[in-house]
Structure 1
Amino acid sequence: MTNLRAIDIFVKALEGGSIASAARQLGISPAAASQNIARLERELGTRLMTRTTRSMALTEAGERYLARVAPVLDELARAQADVSLVHGVVQGRLRVACMAAFGRHVLAPLLPAFQARHPQLELELLVTDRDVDVLKEDVDVSIRYRDVLEPGMSVRPLAAMPRFLYASPAYLEKHGRPQVAEDLLQHACLQYRRERDGRFMRWPFVRDGRRVDPGLRIAAIGTDIDALVELAVAGGGIVWAGSFITQRHVQEGRLVPLVLQPARKGRKAAPGPLQLEEVTLDFFACFRDRQYVPAKVRSFVDYLLEVLPGHPALAQVMSSEAP
């Protein structure tokens, strides 16, 4: 009887692009993974893949074999998950990829309670803003905001986190408090740029209902939003950030949320006043398989949907009156 372990290694090596990748996923050495594939090829009496130190490719026989065995492994995994649920047990390894700031400030503090519910579940957290290949890196579920969703993935909305302008009390005492959006053009602004693609996170300025990019005075540009928030705390300027990042600083008085007044429209023929829209940072759970979501993933996402509505960042009260 052909060893299912060897078949699993063979399939994971193809999914991850290397035998070393399969070995990492299964917690064995690359040498052991390679020996298992070689043993499988001997049992089948044919070469399944050609491999060099830098690449690997399926033979014709390997392509036909993969097409038959991959669905079988998927069905076995589903059967195991379904059986475990009969006994109310969610088990196995759950690998979650998450945007860095959300992982630090929102997800990590919520995980101990989830682990207490499912002690037989092994949790692995991949916290990064880089592009994550969910197949090659064997990620069960990734948490991303709307701007970086991948087409073709199955998604489920998790939370819409408010974003506001913030400055330190020391900065406002020295430079004054902006009252309307136009005032921001005279202030030091801290701009976030995504490391993954180099794009700036545009502040949501609008004029006459259309998005515009006025000439802000950029005091600093950063690829880490936490670093920019700390710069604002130190009096370096005004930052536009998610409330889940700033809530602790606001509660302890190190940052002040800025609420702008709507500007009055001037002459009818003239361009309308600059405004700053209220927008949220919308987070989604993303799955690689539209047809089947494992029980461990369903339990994790259901837990997040249960606890996220009570997150302190969503209850941050904004006063419309300047102090």
Structure 2
Amino acid sequence: MVGIKELYNRLRAEIGKQVVGQEQAIRLMTAALLAEGHVLLEDVPGTGKTTLAKALAGGFDARFTRVQATPDLLPQDLLGGLVYQPQTGEFSLRKGPIFTQFLLFDEINRATPRTASALLEAMAEGQISLDGLSERLEEPFFVIATQNPVESQGVFPLPEAQLDRFLLKVRLGYPSLEEESRILHRFRSVSAPEMPQAVITPELLRQCRLECRQVRTSQEVEDYLLRVVRSTREDKRFLFGASPRAGLALLAVAQALASLDGRDYVTPDDVKEAVIPVFAHRVQLTPEFRAREFTEEQVLAALLAEIPVPTELAARPV
């Protein structure tokens, strides 16, 4: 089997046919996929959230569905419904767009809480329940949801329980001057950008996921990870800190990041790289610090700078 690092390099090359830059976002989203989690993409309109999600899906030989969230979108519009069959006198399931492998849920904060919560069971359990009927979703099932953090009209903030279902929250940010110049030249060209080709099959993805779970963690790195988790609970700047489930998510993402670098062991740098995207949407600042215009990302970065880091030599498993 081809190594995860080589597959990742192929995937980046295919995504690069559509997306300029965003190397860190691509890396984190791929790590989330390997760690069997879901991703919340957050940034202002026009930064390429939908383009990136579609390009990532194009690199996998899997079914892709896009759902545009609106306030009038109903749960059955997402899940489907039971339809009466006169020929047999029975009801059969008419499957909705959630029955896919890559689901892009655009502008999730425009959907009502009832519709957004319809995703909850699917994201957590890989199944849906409808009128007493449970139906498994095909693996892999990967949700990429986008949201615009600056709008206040016609939006519904996601509750903490829903946010916790996302393994990572990724912010794209604006491109650099060089990257924006490349975007202008690429899309001003007469020929349309080349479409990504699938380089990873579902079966290959399953094998990669198994390999990620076997990435080793030394006692020193595990102790460091636990210190980071506990420090968020003890720091007075946070109203509440990271949960045990958040700690498990941090370890899974760190293992995936190590795999993307071609290593079979986790380093402290893997943990540090994962902390902000894994924790930022799972912790909450006190009203005092929020009023002083601090963000969760800023406080987490300051917290990481205060915690002693084991050396990589000491962290390497024996």
- TM-score of the aligned structures, taking structure 1 as reference length: 0.27
More RCO (CA 8 Å, sep 6+) = 2
Which one has a bigger Cα radius of gyration? Answer: 1
Q: Indicate the structure with greater strand content.
A: 1
- TM-score of the aligned structures, taking structure 2 as reference length: 0.27
Q: Indicate the structure with greater helix content.
A: 2
